[in-house]
């Protein structure tokens, strides 16, 4: 007997297109009230207890300048306003009453935010539409944004959960960059070209940063690859060996058949510059003969030149080789952090070499990884950013 698919699984929403703009500059958030309430008089913050309301409140309070609740009975409420439970929906109001209700909401909004700004409406259409219409009628300097306009009511709670997960990722990525900058200021990072002079642990996670790229916060240096080594049971590969495989040799030669990173970079260089080489030759055999390798030497040199300029951050994680090792978990977690649900937190520049990759995962994600891309990030699990920062600060000192 085959199980029937769950017809009510929420779709994945492109929350990034809304949230990346909504939280820039002044932002006022209006949260729709909920049917689920406590049985006693409470502040607006605590009266409404639905999962959707709690998720929206968490999102708004962390990222908006001002947050209000919109109630069918009371209009615009400050979070600390105390009210008794009630049972009124906007569906209970006449058309003229709805117009008067929306007018009173906008009156209070304009008093609270006389300079206007972005107005994020986290509520159902029956609440947001009258407010948006009233603002348009007045030519107000408030700019309403209603991201739930095309979301079915049964999935609104899911939209909020996805939005909160996205903003959690943004917050964790910012913390990771701050930690990298702390390490950088203490010479705790290095260029891959400087590998030979580095003291490295035998085992660890590595992060590649392209200094020619701009990160989410308009600073030089964007993370472009996450990697580790020795995750197959019994493997004895060392971190230095893995990084050397990526870099190549001192004379600029290298072997892209021993480094998937080199393979991807070389293929992208061919595509961008229309180099004359059969695409199926590059990386087609682990047993390429000497003549084949000699014909590829010039491209291997260009790959080495590109990789040598990348900045490297190493996280020391000494554990047994296993697909369930902490190193493997951390690699998966950071790739997911950057790319979950095909909603990358950062966009590559128009000149980024990876745009020419023949791997869809590289082009869509903006990083040089293919495996584990777009998977779920677990912010409280092993390998998450807070966990890794703790390891990094223990290794390098927290001062």
Domain count, the chain: 2
Two tokens, residue 168 = 């959690």
Residue 9 is assigned to a structural domain of this protein: no
For residue 178, tell me if it sits in a domain. Answer: no
The arithmetic mean of pLDDT across residues 91-102, rounded, is 94
* Structure confidence at residue 25 (pLDDT): 58
Across the chain, which distance is largest between two alpha carbons, in Å? Answer: 84
Within this chain, do residues 141 and 211 fall inside the same structural domain, yes or no? no
Across 82-101, average pLDDT? 94
Per-residue model confidence as pLDDT tens digits over 259-311 = 999 999 999 999 998 877 655 678 776 667 888 888 889 999 999 999 999 99
264 and 133 in a common domain = no
Residue 98 within any structural domain of the chain: yes
Whether residue 210 sits in one domain with residue 145 = no
* Same domain as 208, residue 138: no
Is residue 172 one of the residues assigned to a domain?
A: no
Residues 107, 140 within the same domain: yes
pTM value is 0.88
pLDDT at position 319, please?
87
Q: Which of 5-9, 250-254, 330-334 has the highest mean predicted lDDT (pLDDT)?
A: 330-334
The answer to whether position 106 is within a domain reads yes
Which of 262, 54, 63, 270 shows the shortest CA–CA distance to 174?
A: 63
Q: Are residues 154 and 281 in the same domain?
A: no
Q: Are strands 117-122 and 142-145 parallel, antiparallel or unpaired?
A: parallel
Is a pLDDT exceeding 80 seen at residue 251? yes
Higher pLDDT, 338 or 25: 338
Q: How far is CA 381 from CA 322, 343, 348, in A?
A: 18, 20, 28
| Residue 183 falls inside a structural domain | no
Same domain as 269, residue 140:
no
132 and 27 in a common domain: yes
In this prediction, residues 240-257 reach a mean pLDDT of: 94
State whether 204 and 131 are in the same domain.
Answer: no
Rounded CA-CA distance 67/60 in Å is 6
Residues 6+ apart with CB under 8 A from 34: 48, 49, 50, 52, 53
**145 and 232 housed in the same domain:** no
| pLDDT given for residue 360 in this prediction | 97
**Is the CA virtual torsion 258, 261, 265, 267 positive or negative?**
positive
Q: Please state, in angstroms and rounded to a whole number, the distance separating the CA atoms of residues 230 and 232.
A: 6
137: in domain: yes
Same domain, 150 and 203: no
Query: What residue numbers bound the domain in which 280 lies?
Result: 188-396
Distance of CA 204 to the CA centre of its chain: 23
Question: Looking at residue 1, what is its pLDDT?
Answer: 43
Q: Give the mean pLDDT of the chain.
A: 91
Distance of CA 260 to CAs 7, 90, 93, 292, 359, Å?
Answer: 39, 58, 63, 18, 12
CA 97/CA 105 separation, integer angstroms: 12
Predicted local confidence at residue 277, as pLDDT: 64
Q: Are 318 and 200 in contact (CB under 8 A)?
A: no
| Judgement on whether residues 210 and 345 belong to the same structural domain of the protein | yes
Q: Is residue 51 part of a domain?
A: yes
Lowest mean pLDDT among 125-139, 225-239, 276-290: 276-290
pLDDT computed for residue 280 by the predictor: 62
Quote the CA–CA distance of 335 and 332 in Å, as a whole number.
Answer: 5
* pLDDT band at residue 254 under the 50/70/90 scheme: very high
pLDDT at 4: 47
Indicate which CATH number applies to the domain containing 66: 3.40.50
Measured between alpha carbons, how far is 326 from 217 in angstroms, rounded to an integer?
29
């Amino acid at each position: 007997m085959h199980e029937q698919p769950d017809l009510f699984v929420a779709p994945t929403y492109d929350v990034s297109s809304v949230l990346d703009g909504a939280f820039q500059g002044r932002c006022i958030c209006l949260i729709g009230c909920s049917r689920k309430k406590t049985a006693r008089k409470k502040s607006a913050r605590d009266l409404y207890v639905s999962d959707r309301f709690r998720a929206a409140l968490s999102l708004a309070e962390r990222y908006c300048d001002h947050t209000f609740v919109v109630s069918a009975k009371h209009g615009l409420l400050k979070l600390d306003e105390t009210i008794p439970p009630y049972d009124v929906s906007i569906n209970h109001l006449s058309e003229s009453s709805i117009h008067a209700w929306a007018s009173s909401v906008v009156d209070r909004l304009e008093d609270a935010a006389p300079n206007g700004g972005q107005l994020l409406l986290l509520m159902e259409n029956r609440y947001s539409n009258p407010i948006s219409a009233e603002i348009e009628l007045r030519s107000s300097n408030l700019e309403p944004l209603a991201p739930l306009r095309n979301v079915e009511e049964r999935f609104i709670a899911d939209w909020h959960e996805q939005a909160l997960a996205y903003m959690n990722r943004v917050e964790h990525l910012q913390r990771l960059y701050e930690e990298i900058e702390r390490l950088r200021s203490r010479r705790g990072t290095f260029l891959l070209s400087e590998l030979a002079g580095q003291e490295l642990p035998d085992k660890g996670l590595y992060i590649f940063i392209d200094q020619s790229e701009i990160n989410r916060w308009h600073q030089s240096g964007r993370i472009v690859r996450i990697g580790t080594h020795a995750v197959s049971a019994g493997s004895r590969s060392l971190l230095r060996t893995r990084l050397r495989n990526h870099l190549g040799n001192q004379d600029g030669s290298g072997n892209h058949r021993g480094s998937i990173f080199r393979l991807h970079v070389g293929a992208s260089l061919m595509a961008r510059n229309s180099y004359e080489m059969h695409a199926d030759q590059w990386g087609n055999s682990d047993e390429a003969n000497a003549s084949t390798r000699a014909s590829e030497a010039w491209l291997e040199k260009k790959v080495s030149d590109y990789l040598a300029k990348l900045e490297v951050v190493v996280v020391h994680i000494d554990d047994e080789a296993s697909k369930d090792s902490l190193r493997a978990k951390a690699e998966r977690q950071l790739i997911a952090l950057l790319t979950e649900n095909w909603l990358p937190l950062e966009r590559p520049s128009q000149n980024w070499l990876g745009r020419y990759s023949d791997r869809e995962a590289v082009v869509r994600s903006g990083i040089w990884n293919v495996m584990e891309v777009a998977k779920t990030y677990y912010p409280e699990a092993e390998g998450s950013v807070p966990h890794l920062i703790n390891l990094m600060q223990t290794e390098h000192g927290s001062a």
